[in-house]
Structure 1
């Protein structure tokens, strides 16, 4: 079993999303504020931890309330021996090195078509890349997403290494939130 440097330990109820999309097997947990405050940032951040003693690594999403929420897959629910509505014990710690984010195909194409942007992209930090991708993928409409990709390439090509004016926590813009929980 893998051991982690536990930064926070808490119990939480597994919630079912009211709108789970096509996959109804997942659940989620909203982190208590004090547990979230132990993490290095209010935006997306990757943690390793255990749920009911079962090890996992996942990227937490901001909840717009200066905390985070964790999506718990059906496989992780099963491995942890739990189900929606049950209480779980979580232990979390930030990963020592944030993993490289997956670049969405449409953004990859835009970067490939803009060598100046690609050059600056390659010199940014992993955290900055996470924020750029989060800004692009958080667009609610395809038109907005397309504009953000163009804007990202323009900003990168001009030498900007970080997306400006993006509240990665969602607190000031209320852009992010945990899913709405289904009533039991």
Structure 2
């Protein structure tokens, strides 16, 4: 656990997202306001901790309302011994070092094919800045939007831009980020 901030302890209910097929077994939880308020940012925040005593690392997503939510995949939920509808106990703290984000294959291929300056800028920015670029690119709903954003990103990175322009990391001022809606079944 991170030594720079006290552990944040809370309980939360696991929800199944509405509109997601039942065989897609991910769930999510909303952090209570009191827990979110203890985090260093209203935006994406990487944490380490436990869920029902099982250790994990994850990046909390902003809910667009000043709080955070956590996607709990099938593997993590199984290790925690929990199902949708269950109350789980968490103990988290922000990670001391931001982990490297997973770069989507199409973006990585485009970076390798781009002018060398684009990859040099990409390599020089922080993991958090890379996460912002990835989120901006992948938040487009259509394949055409994603492809266009990759092109824009390469152009901006080649020009030395270190962050996507006008990207609201908290989701509070745009509709780019929000918490899933819970299935009411």
Q: TM-score, normalised by structure 1?
A: 0.91
SS in structure 2 of the partner of residue 176 of structure 1? coil
Q: Does the aligned pair in 2 maintain the 1:111–1:117 contact within 8 Å? A: yes
1:28 is aligned to 2:28: yes
Partner of 2:141: 140
Query: Where do residues 12-161 of structure 1 align in structure 2 (5 Å cutoff)?
Result: 12-21=12-21, 23-114=23-114, 115-161=116-162
SS in structure 2 of the partner of residue 61 of structure 1? strand
Q: Does the aligned pair in 2 maintain the 1:7–1:38 contact within 8 Å? A: no
Compute the displacement of 1:81 (Å): 2.2
1:108–1:4 Cα change, 3 Å:
closer
1:9 is aligned to 2:9: yes
Q: Does the aligned pair in 2 maintain the 1:47–1:58 contact within 8 Å? A: yes
1:4–1:160 Cα change, 3 Å:
closer
1:143–1:101 Cα change, 3 Å:
same
Q: Root-mean-square deviation (CA), in Å?
A: 1.7
Measured in 2, the distance between the counterparts of 1:80 and 1:9 equals 16
Compute the displacement of 1:23 (Å): 4.2
Partner of 2:177: 176
Instruction: Output one character per residue of 1:130-162: Cα deviation in whole Å (capped at 9) or x when no partner.
Output: 111111111111111111111111111111111
Measured in 2, the distance between the counterparts of 1:68 and 1:104 equals 23
Q: Which runs of 5+ in 2 are unaligned?
A: none
Q: Which runs of 5+ in 1 are unaligned?
A: none
1:141–1:50 Cα change, 3 Å:
same
Compute the displacement of 1:42 (Å): 2.5
Compute the displacement of 1:77 (Å): 2.0
